[in-house]
Amino acid sequence: MHQAFAAIHDSESLWVSMDRASYKPRLSQRARAKPGDANSIHTDKRLDDASFTVQGVLYLTDTLEDQGAWECMPDLYHEIRDGQHETIRDGVDFSHYPVKRVPGKAGSVVIWHGHMPHGSGHNWRDTPRFVQYITMNRVGTEEDRQERVNCWHTNRAPHFWQGMPGQLDPEPWEEPAELSPLGEMLLGSRHWPDKA
């Protein structure tokens, strides 16, 4: 996984996200959605932030196109890239843009640009969809590094996940996860070696 993100960034010196897993059962019959509808298309990054970042989702189970697969709007992304939009707001009707859904086998990863409008599709199947959100981006500030290491050491979610419904604080593990040397560098508890 690190090799894929390192190739995208042209650097091995990355930090991995402290992110969430997702379970998506079949859509309730009470929902007003119909097959083919997009689900909560959004960007997680402000459109005025020009820094290069990517996001990713790892399928933990085989995921069909209509089983909650990752979905995006490439045509809207091209307009964003070309400066035609300053923001993507909730409640705006994007139904005239085609939706691309990406199915995948367990172990497949989808990686996209931070400005790509995306969501996880509705699950119309009886089998739930399981994913792990994951990304790796260039190392941040010393303050960021200290917060990351502290969260790992104390079994706490990052500040932006704390207080989210269902988020235990701290997580109920007796000890922090044991990390390999690569894991320590991806966390930030060990510095990446300088390459001259």
Domain ranges, ordered by start, for the chain: 20-134, 140-196
Would the pLDDT of 195 be above 80?
Answer: no
In the block, tokens 């419904």 appear at 165
Mean pLDDT, residues 17-23: 94
Average pLDDT across the chain, whole number: 93
pLDDT grade for 196, boundaries at 50, 70 and 90: very low
On the question of pLDDT at 93 being above 90, the answer is: no
- Options 3.60.70.12, 3.10.20.30, 2.60.120.620, 3.40.50.300; which CATH number does 20-134 get? 2.60.120.620
Query: Per-residue pLDDT averaged across 107-112, rounded?
Result: 98
Question: Whole-angstrom Cα distance, residue 81 to residue 79?
Answer: 5
- Percent of the chain surpassing pLDDT 90: 75
Averaged over 170-190, what is the pLDDT?
A: 95
Read off the pLDDT of residues 118-163 as tens digits, 9 standing for 90 and up: 999 999 999 999 999 999 999 999 999 999 999 999 999 998 888 8
In 48-157 the beta strands, taken as DSSP E runs, fall at 54-59, 70-72, 100-102, 109-113, 118-120, 129-133, 136-138
